[in-house]
A and B are shown apart, each in its own frame.
Chain A
Amino acid sequence: MSRTLSQLLVSIALATAALTVAPVASADDVKMVGVITKIKMAGDGKSAQAILKDGKSGDAVTINITDDLTLDKFKDKRIVEGDEIRAKFDNAGGKNESKSFKKTAGC
């Protein structure tokens, strides 16, 4: 009985660990939630800059975006100024290169 219980507990622990696995963020990764105040597309459409107003500090943060998925959303107006964004970016050297840029989930 106790062996079965132990096995069950170990299984639950392993399952919990598997379910809660999160990507290990590098030291330079920054996560923030903020509202877009400005989107500036590059002339060639291959990059963009978005200025987010940090929901916590109120600071304006400029993020550089180069991934096609997000750029397509800018072009199709699926992400527009005023949208609340959950962003993850690499701020090594102050470049703020976007690693994840998506609308906050809900509904």
Chain B
Amino acid sequence: MQRNITRKLLAGLVASLFIPLGAQAADAELMKKIEAMAKEIESLRAQVQANQEANRQAIADVREVKEKVQKSEEKSLDKWLTVGGDYQFRVDSLAGETKSFTDVNAFFAAAQTDAMSNPAMMGQMIAFSGAMSRVQTFQQANAFLGANAAMIGGLMPYAAQAAIPAYKPKNETLYTNRFGLDLNMKATQDVSVTARLLMYKTFGASDEGATTNSGSAPFFADRVGVFDGTLGHIPSSSFLNVDRVYATWSNIADQDIWFSVGRRPSTHGAPSHLRANTARPGTGGTPALLVDYAFDGMTIGWAPDIDALPGAYGKLCYGRGFESGFSKALTNSLEDTDMVGLSVVPIDTDPLRVWLQWNRGMSIFDAPKMASTYFGTTMPKTNLGDIDWFGTGALGTIKRLGPGDLNWFADVGMSVTHPNDNVSSQFGFQGLMTGAFFSPEAPTSKTGSAVYVGLRYDLPSKTKLGVEYNHGSKNWITFAPAASDSWTSKVGTRGNVYEVYAIQELNAKPISSVMAKSFFRLGFQYYDFQYTGSNNWIGAPVRISDVNGQMMTTAPLSKAYNAYATVEVKF
């Protein structure tokens, strides 16, 4: 075997001596090329590795940038802050018809003027006024009137000086500016803060004189002046006030349960959004027939998921209408005025929304705190009792009824007073819906009722045509002084109110938000008062046809007209 290999090797070596020299040179060249290629491959391999490393680094960099962008997006303003608002220019043309009455304020002013030049009379007047202010109850009022019959009789001649004959108040053009700024801030998961800042002023004035009949007896209790619950809802000044601010904690215990506290969205509730051309209130808000007042308070609500009752929810609400401060046994017997309410909405969908509401106002005050009114600075001086309100209503939309959609609503309410034994000394011993000036009436419960119905037809041209009617009975009293009506809150009218309006939206693409829009509104209101004291819980109503010179604190209107137009921008 060893021998065979040696032989083959020798044969090969001999044979190689015969290979041409040129072939040997080509081999060397090939070897060189192979070596060069090997080096190149090695270089490429290194390059690929470097590229792969660079790619990995790039991917890591991109991921880092993405994470940073995501974190930045999560913290960006539009993730947690929503800004919106509205502007409204409005012109009102107001007219009315009053009945003759004796202006209580003018009556005492006339007596005081004479007393200024008569020291004896001045002393009597001061004593009379002091004793009058100490009267607290119905019994004390009767005793006071009996003991001071001579004094009152002596003052009666001044009634002639305070007699106001029937007249026709008129304001052909009342221009106003209103600006609202809405902010919603998501603070943490499930917790947000909502705020609305509001400015509402008259052209050419920085006070509420244009709506309060400044210098003369005002027409309605809710338009004597601006107070806590109407601030920003009655034209007053250019100040931007906090109309709403509240914190909401939602999704409590992973359920549709929420708790909310602060200055509440308790104004301009359903169905007033139809004529205001604003979005339908969600689970917030109150029925406009019963409550339209800027309350500070809180709510706890629950929206159970019931297949048969889509959108159903209920909530328990609390609000403070007046804070009486420290109690002082000798000088301050006032109690806080509070309101509690229970709202049940068994169904809330576009075609149908139904609501049931109960409220109780407790320790109702006789006058809110107001500055610079016809009566000077007013403030609560007594608590007159409690009032219950009950209401039920429904609203809905019938789509494609003819060329457009028909919105409808119907609402009914009932008020029941529970007077205590107190009377208001600053209003001539009138009580909770009882008595007249210097003519107290034993406290008795009074029940009133109201109905409010309306339609709005929305055309594809973005034209919306509306008609509304409401009626309040003799003893109807609501809690809606912040309503947007210029004369007085129409839903508190003891009588009839008819309203028609037309809205024309501009066909313009929204920019600031998906809900942005601009529109014009034209409307007309006609008030037909049947009893005095609409929106006033002090004193018993008097049939308008029976009014003829009686002593009254407000001027009794028998009819009122209001033609209005607005330019409104929602952003």
Contacts and interface: CB of A to CB of B under 8 A. Distances in A.
B515 to A, nearest CB: 7
Among B246, B251, B308, B313, max chain A CB count under 10 A is at B251
Interface string B187-198: 001001010000
A1 interface: no
Given A69-B310, A72-B350, A86-B256, A107 B246 contact: yes
A106 B307 contact: no
Nearest to A23: B307
A38 interface: no
Interface string B309-337: 01101000000000000000000000000
Contact of B189 (A22, A55, A102, A107): A55
B301 A105 contact: yes
B505 to A, nearest CB: 13
A104 B282 contact: no
Contacts of A102: 311
A105 B299 CA distance: 12
A107 B306 CA distance: 20
A107 B305 contact: no
B157 interface: no
Interface string B209-248: 0000000000000000000000000000000000000101
A103 B308 CA distance: 18
B299 A107 contact: yes
Most buried by A among B194, B283, B308: B283
Contacts of A103: 282
A80 interface: yes
Interface string A75-107: 001101000001010000000000110111111
Given A105-B283, A106-B248, A107-B284, A88 B514 contact: no
B70 to A, nearest CB: 11
Interface string B247-275: 01011001010101000010000000000
B279 interface: yes
B346 interface: no
A61 interface: no
Contacts of A31: 305
Contacts of B301: 105-106
A105 B279 CA distance: 16
Contact of B250 (A72, A99, A105): A105
B304 interface: yes
A33 interface: yes
B46 to A, nearest CB: 42
Contacts of B265: 107
A22 B529 CA distance: 48
Contacts of B303: 105
B282 A105 contact: yes
A99 B308 CA distance: 12
Interface of B: 189, 192, 194, 246, 248, 250-251, 254, 256, 258, 260, 265, 279, 282-284, 299, 301, 303-308, 310-311, 313, 349-350, 514-515
12 contacts: A23-B307, A33-B254, A80-B514, A86-B251, A86-B256, A100-B307, A104-B256, A105-B250, A105-B301, A105-B303, A106-B260, A107-B258
Q: Which 8 A-B pairs have the closest CB atoms?
A: A107-B284, A105-B303, A106-B250, A77-B514, A106-B258, A105-B283, A106-B248, A105-B256
